[in-house]
Amino acid sequence: MQRRRVIQGLGLGVLAAATTACSREAEGPAAAADGRRFRWKLVTTWPPNFPALGTGALEFARMVEACSGGRLSIKVYGAGELVPAFEAFDAVAAGTAEMAHGGAYYWKGKIGSASFFSAVPFGLTAQEMNAWLYYGGGLDLWREAYAPFGVIPAPCGNSGCQMGGWFRKEIRSAADLAGLKMRIPGIGGEVLARAGGTPVTLSGGEIFTALETGAIDATEWIGPYNDLAFGLHKAAKYYYYPGWQEPGTTLEAIINRKAFEELPEDLQQIVLTCCKAINDQMLAEFTARNSEALVTLVEEHGVELRRFPDDVLRRLKELSEQVIREGAARDPLYARIHESVRAFQARSSAYLRVAEDAYLRTRDL
């Protein structure tokens, strides 16, 4: 019980001292009660060691091993090292790997409602996503959506609001979206198609070459921190905002249910608590590093930072609402999830207008 209180006390914060305390406690009576050791594999949709995303998965594995006193160790494989990026979900469902780390919208083809648990155009911010998942019923719906595949999802990172993307040509009006070939996943890709563009699905490691060679005209990826790491400023001139397509992108851990249920209860709680810890830590890293990287892109590399014209954003929002309404009409689970998000966002928006939003406007006076 003492050890469990230590683990629960981690909450959403990630401190080295707390991790060390977990490790010490894991050597005590609770560990002696079940000394079995487990070895897991974790596959990701990210390039190996990629900043925040790939390194976040590595930090998760390190944290689990420390908190479990080595009773659960996890080997992390980047995209392509064990399975291709977009086969990570299937690998966990089949038991090839016990865990995966990625983004739920990558599985839209097999779970129509999956995008709601990652990012929806003009939807919830990172702060709102966490609130909806943990306190608005979102996590229960997520688990329901994934249950038929024998896997358990958990929030395990957030990029915050992303950028609108890199474009080889200027976007002056909604008409400029017609014919645009763009790497963009999830519901955002469906919206682009409605606007006359062509959405393309590419893993992170394929983006730079496709943009540089002209195989695609534009790409959204994440934000300044990761975009700078990929060198996307060398392949496209215009950097647009805001990220209408991904206002607060949740990253996920996918856990094989059978493997999870074979763990003792304390190790199960360590896994879930460390997911929460990475969820908090990754958002902090993105917030800090994106601001630094944006300065580098603009001041050192001469990137042209542009805001999407209002008529473009209005058109994209209109099309987003159409796509989501049609999805809800086809799929009862999609409809229930959409209604949950819609109701939560209405309540949250009313509060944020007089809280964070009002404060930011005041701070800029």
Give the pLDDT confidence of 286-337 residue by residue, as tens digits: 999 999 999 999 999 999 999 999 999 999 999 999 999 999 999 999 999 9
Q: How far apart are CA 342 and CA 124, in angstroms?
A: 9
- The region of weakest confidence among 7-11, 111-115, 160-164 is 7-11
What value does the mean pLDDT take over residues 234-238?
Answer: 96
* pLDDT in the model for residue 34: 76
The mean of the pLDDT values for the chain is 92
All structural domains of the chain:
2-158+248-287 (3.40.190.170), 165-246+304-363 (3.40.190.10)
What value does the mean pLDDT take over residues 31-60?
Answer: 91
Q: How far apart are CA 117 and CA 132, in angstroms?
A: 10
pLDDT digits (tens, 9 = 90+) for 69-93: 999 999 999 999 999 999 999 999 9
Sign (positive or negative) of CA dihedral 352, 154, 158, 12: positive
Please say whether the beta carbons of 143 and 178 come within 8 A. Answer: no
* Cα dihedral value 83, 85, 86, 90, nearest 10: 40
Place of tokens 């229960």: 140
Please say whether the beta carbons of 275 and 339 come within 8 A. Answer: no
What phi and psi values does residue 229 have, to the nearest 5 degrees?
-60, -35
* pLDDT in the model for residue 33: 55
* pLDDT in the model for residue 114: 97
Residue of 249, 190, 182 lying closest to 210 (CA atoms)? 182
Is residue 14 predicted with pLDDT exceeding 70? no
Task: Return the H-helix or E-strand segment holding 45.
Answer: none
What value does the mean pLDDT take over residues 42-54?
Answer: 96
Sign (positive or negative) of CA dihedral 114, 119, 121, 126: positive
- The region of weakest confidence among 25-34, 166-175, 206-215, 227-236 is 25-34
